[in-house]
Amino acid sequence: MARIEDVSSPARMAEPGEDISRDELSLATRNHGLPLEALRYDLTPPGLHYVLTHYDIPYVAEDADWELRIGGHVNRPIRLSMDNLRSYPQVTTRVTIECAGNGRALLTPRPVSQPWLVEAVGTADWTGVPLRALLAEADVRDGAVDAVFTGADHGVERGVEQDYQRALPLDTALGDTPEVLVAYAMNGAPLPPQHGRPLRLVVPGWYGMAHVKWLRDITVLDRPFTGFQQDVAYRIRQDPDDEGTPVSRIAPRALMVPPGFPDFMTRARVVRPGTTELEGRAWSGRAPVTAVEVSTDGARTWNEAVLDEPDEHRWSWRRWRFDWNAVPGEHELCARATDAEGRTQPLDQPWNRGGFANNLVQRIPVLCTEPS
Amino acid sequence: MARIEDVSSPARMAEPGEDISRDELSLATRNHGLPLEALRYDLTPPGLHYVLTHYDIPYVAEDADWELRIGGHVNRPIRLSMDNLRSYPQVTTRVTIECAGNGRALLTPRPVSQPWLVEAVGTADWTGVPLRALLAEADVRDGAVDAVFTGADHGVERGVEQDYQRALPLDTALGDTPEVLVAYAMNGAPLPPQHGRPLRLVVPGWYGMAHVKWLRDITVLDRPFTGFQQDVAYRIRQDPDDEGTPVSRIAPRALMVPPGFPDFMTRARVVRPGTTELEGRAWSGRAPVTAVEVSTDGARTWNEAVLDEPDEHRWSWRRWRFDWNAVPGEHELCARATDAEGRTQPLDQPWNRGGFANNLVQRIPVLCTEPS
């Protein structure tokens, strides 16, 4: 008897010393992170922005055939074509999106899933219609609690067949800080297929799981949404039976462009002696980043980096830089961000079963060669 | 004493049963394959085309500052700006490029390097200037043997610090089948950074290592080129001491869009009973593909697929399709291409130390559910 449960597997932790499995590799060859040298770009070129898709990327032959339905606990259910959506006043917001599972493969024990190291991030200008304008038109009824967003991507996860679905609390869906977008363009062009063509949700400041791609339905509920991606996955738990807390906004993080040049296989870095400008980006979905510190001695001592002035892009990463006088020998470089609410990054990563919301301080071993 | 050799490692094979190492994962999170559902596109959207970079992606702030030098064993060394290059008659060629290491992670023992399964491929329209036009202008001298192409990407590999360099035999560089391009556009837009912005070589029919990205120098030699990527890497060898044979043209391969929908973690496929159209693409850099066969019983029996008619795109993959009557149970789907020179794909992959030029028949386990 052929059963879907037979092709699916429960959540598991890697055994002590277990390297990356074939299943994890199958995800890692499809999905990809931001090559860290691309932190140099304010706006990540689309093919360098991190991508995680749970199931297959839906094939959409004609954007013109796409329809977004809005219904549920509303007085005026509506259906919108792409042309309808483009007739609304449009908003463009620069947003840094990070995968909720970034850093998972650095945890011990390692939750077996997409095995990110530190690179699951990217920044783009997203253009679309504010969600609250669409919900106002649908006229949400009193007593509404959650808005559920359904993508066209379909698959199985831990035995549960599903369309990808996530909800936002109604006050978040209707809020203006952040202003949630139903987006149809990325960096001024139609969305690439892997970023949700033709339509996706963008929830500035929230981890990637909230930014539902291939968005085809918004249903308002008068009770909390209890779907798989809301109540089973994407919760921070120590034990399977914990109720846990939902994954939501992005914790502060700084990443550095690895200086010098790499070894192909070990990715170890080599620099020449002398002044090397270290640079990178820092972000937080909680509050603006207010400081970045750099260590060149493996987090023993820290120095203040120069952070770019705040600009109008509240939800985008900020550039930072630091001049390092590299001397021959082995070094370990680190960077650490702090936000306006005093949150910063740990040197020892708290663990959770899903491997979510990690922001361990990045460590980059560097070899500085002798003068030539 | 800090030595570059200390951060680099020699070539090695994975131990029996050894899973994917942290070093391999570091490559797999940066580089990425084609998600196989994207085989549906004639032209791969740029962010879905496979990417392999040996070192860092060079950061090019201004294309206008780029200069291509052509020199060595020529009578008239030249330097060309991007504007100069765009003033030549331009050619656009549709080319399927596959990484020479595609399939490496399926080998036993597994050569430790970028751990591709089957997905390192993509197809694009490349626009640029025929290399032979530029070499004619530089006026190659009698006795020339090789043309060496140098990229701006710099790193270390097995202890050897280097710019990425590869050569073509002069008759290939000057040939018209294939016609080699110095390309500045991909699918009608400037090259994305990860595909060589602003300039790369495109060698239709050859594996990816020949298509030098971030191209800044072409040097004609009156002797064979013996650089690292030519004489050490990218050779097919059984033992480290073998002279080996160089990796060059792409072996025939067919890939299938995995039908139905996936399990997130196992990537196993689920289909409903009934007629399912299987489809995919097939290519060979040796000779045009003349047949694709499909097996739905794990390569025990084979059926002829319907191959699209040949068109003007000699160097591009061809679409194929096959109607499968799926019945409940477990199945294993396979596809196999044959080219006009009679080359086909093995069911047991011959092994080589670098894990190059693999074209093992793809196998896709599929569960067909009971009627609902």
Going from N- to C-terminal start, the domains of chain B cover 4-246, 253-368
Single-letter amino acid, residue A137: E
Cβ atoms of A228 and A162 within 8 Å: the answer is: yes
Q: How confident is the model at residue A200 (pLDDT cuts 50, 70, 90)?
A: very high
Report chain B residues whose CB lies below 8 A from the CB of A47.
46-47, 49, 51, 192, 194-195
Provide ipTM, 2 decimals.
Answer: 0.96
Question: Which member of A2, A33, A155 has the closest CB to residue B329?
Answer: A2
Q: Stretch A157-176: mean pLDDT, rounded?
A: 97
Prior bond of B246 cis (ω within 30°): no
Instruction: With beta carbons less than 8 A apart as the criterion, state whether B88 and B182 touch.
Output: no
Q: Which helix (H) or strand (E) holds A171?
A: helix A170-173
Beta bridge partners of B146: B169, B221
Contact B263 A26 (CB under 8 A): no
Contact A264, B54 (CB under 8 A): yes
Question: Residue A157: which of B31, B32, B264 has the nearest Cβ?
Answer: B264
What are the chain B neighbours of A25 within 8 Å (beta carbons)? Answer: 20, 28, 105, 115, 117
Mean pLDDT for B254-262 is: 98
Give pLDDT, residue A4: 87
Comparing CB atoms, the residue among A25, A37, A53 nearest residue B56 is A37
For residue B119, list chain A residues with Cβ-Cβ distance below 8 A: 29-30
For the segment B110-120, the average pLDDT, to the nearest whole number, is 97
Looking at the complex, does the CB of residue A154 fall below 8 Å from at least one CB of chain B?
A: yes
Which residues, at least 6 apart from B353, have a Cβ–Cβ distance to it below 8 Å? B11, B13, B111, B237, B238, B239, B240
Whether A190 shows a pLDDT value over 70: the answer reads yes
Name the nearest CA neighbour of B309 among B299, B298, B321.
Answer: B321
Task: For residue A266, give the nearest of B23, B38, B54 by CB distance.
Answer: B23
User: Closest approach of chain B CAs to the CA of A54, in angstroms?
Assistant: 6
Q: State both tokens at A209.
A: 């799981």
Share of chain B above pLDDT 70, in %: 99
How many C-beta neighbours within 10 Å does residue B360 have?
17
To the nearest whole number, what is the mean pLDDT of chain B? 97
Q: How confident is the model at residue A214 (pLDDT cuts 50, 70, 90)?
A: very high
User: What pLDDT does A46 receive?
Assistant: 81
What local confidence, expressed as pLDDT, does residue B1 receive? 59
Assess A196–B contact: CB distance below 8 Å, yes or no. Answer: no
- Cα angle at B39 between B33 and B43, to 5 degrees? 95
* pLDDT of A188 strictly over 70: yes
For A335-363, write each residue's pLDDT tens digit.
999 999 999 999 999 999 999 999 999 99
For an interface test with B, the pick among A263, A364, A370, A372 (most B C-beta atoms closer than 10 Å) comes out as A263
Q: Which chain A residues have a beta carbon less than 8 Å from that of B18?
A: 19
**Residue among A155, A156, A192 minimizing CB distance to B47:** A192
Question: Are residues B35 and A46, on separate chains, in Cβ contact within 8 Å?
Answer: no
Mean pLDDT of chain A: 97
Task: Kindly report the nearest CA distance between residue B322 and chain A, in angstroms.
Answer: 19
Q: Render pLDDT for B216-227 as a digit per residue (tens, 0 to 9).
A: 999 999 999 999
- Sign of the torsion angle spanned by Cα atoms B297, B298, B301, B304: positive
- Give A342 to chain B, closest Cα distance, Å: 31
Q: Residue B5: its pLDDT value, please?
A: 83
Q: Do B266 and A2 touch (CB under 8 A)?
A: no
Kindly report, residue by residue over A300-345, the tens digit of the pLDDT.
Answer: 999 999 999 999 999 999 999 999 999 999 999 999 999 999 999 9
Chain position carrying tokens 């021959």: A328
- Quick one: pLDDT at residue A349? 95
Strands B189-190 and A329-339: unpaired
| CB pair distance less than 8 Å for B4 and A192 | no
Separation of alpha carbons A105 and A117, rounded Å = 5
Per residue in B179-190, pLDDT (tens digit) is 999 999 999 999
Pick the residue of B3, B56, B209 with the most A CBs within 10 A to test the interface with A by mutation.
B56
- Please judge whether B267 and A330 are an interchain contact, meaning their C-beta atoms are less than 8 angstroms apart: no
Which of A157, A266, A328 lies nearest to residue B263, judging by beta carbons? A157
CATH of domain B253-368: 2.60.40.650
Q: What is the pLDDT of residues A282-292, one digit of tens each?
A: 999 999 999 99
Tell me whether residues A25 and B29 touch, CB distance under 8 A. no
pLDDT, position A1:
59
Residues of A in contact with B329 (CB under 8 A): 2
Q: Do A157 and B261 touch (CB under 8 A)?
A: no
Q: What per-residue confidence (pLDDT) applies to A368?
A: 97
- Contact residues, chain B, for A26 at CB < 8 Å: 117, 267
Taking an 8 Å cut-off on Cβ atoms, the answer to whether A9 and B55 are in contact is: no
Topology match between the domains B4-246 and B253-368: no
**Please, what is the angle between helix A22-30 and helix B22-30, to 10°?**
30
CATH of region B4-246: 3.90.420.10
* Mean pLDDT, residues B313-338: 98
Residues of A in contact with B124 (CB under 8 A): none
